[in-house]
Amino acid sequence: QVKEKQIGDYSFLLNDKIGSGSFGKVYKGKNTNTQQKVAIKVLDKNEICMSEYLLQGLIMEIKILRKLKSEYIVQLTDVLETPNNFYLIQELCEGDLRKILKQKKLLPEQQAIKIIQQVLKGFMELQINGIIHRDLKPENILISNDIYKLADFGLSKTVDNFQRQLMISQVGTPLYMSPQILMKEKYTSKCDLWSLGFIFYEIIYGRTPFTGKSQYLLIQDFQNNKVVFDQGIQCSDKCQDFILNCLKIQESQRFEWINAYKHDLFKLEFQNEIIQFNEMENKSNMIINELRQFIYKNKIDIEYVFKQMDTSKDAIIDINEFSKLIQQFDESITRLEIEYIFNKYDIDQNNFITFTEFSKCILENQKTNKQIVQKTFYRYNFN
DSSP conformational letter for 348: T
Residue 33 identity: N
Q: What is the pTM of this model?
A: 0.78
The Cα–Cα gap between 290 and 329 comes to 8
* 41 annotated to a ligand binding site: yes
| Domain boundary, last residue among 228, 245, 268 | 268
pLDDT band per the 50, 70, 90 thresholds, residue 79: very high
pLDDT at 383: 33
CA 256 to chain CA mean position, Å: 14
Residue 377 contacts residue 287 (beta carbons within 8 Å): no
pLDDT value for 278: 85
Instruction: List, for residues 282-310, the tens digit of each pLDDT value.
Output: 888 888 888 888 888 988 899 999 999 99
DSSP track, 232-290: TS---HHHHHHHHHH--SSGGGS--HHHHHHSTTTTTTTHHHHHHHHHHHHHHHHHHHH
Q: Sorting pLDDT into bands at 50, 70 and 90, what band is 381? A: very low
Q: Give Dmax (Cα) for the chain.
A: 76
CATH number at residue 319: 1.10.238.10
Range of the domain at 122: 105-268
- Concerning whether 318 is annotated as a catalytic residue, the answer is no
Q: How confident is the model at residue 162 (pLDDT cuts 50, 70, 90)?
A: very low
Per-range mean pLDDT, top range of 20-29, 266-275, 349-358: 266-275
Q: Could you tell me if 263 and 118 lie in one domain?
A: yes
Q: Which of 96, 135, 192, 318 is catalytic?
A: 135
- Say which residue, 256 or 157, is predicted with more confidence: 256
Of 12 and 285, which is predicted with more confidence? 12
Q: What is the DSSP letter of 87?
A: E
Domain tally for the chain?
Answer: 3
In this prediction, residue 50 carries a pLDDT of: 67
Instruction: Answer whether residue 378 shows pLDDT above 50.
Output: no
Closest to 72 measured CA to CA, from 122, 29, 117, 24: 122
Helices and strands in the chain: count of H runs, count of E runs: 17, 9
Q: In this predicted model, what pLDDT tens digit does every residue of 169-225 receive, in sequence order?
A: 343 458 999 999 899 887 888 999 999 999 999 999 999 999 998 889 999 999 999
- In this structure, the answer to whether residues 120 and 254 fall within a common structural domain is yes
Mean of pLDDT over the chain: 84
Helix (H, G, I), strand (E, B) or coil at 163: coil
Examine the fold and report which residue of 91, 115, 150 is the final residue of a domain before the chain moves on. 91
Count, residues in the chain: 383
In a domain, 381, yes or no: no
Q: Give me the pLDDT at residue 22, please.
A: 59
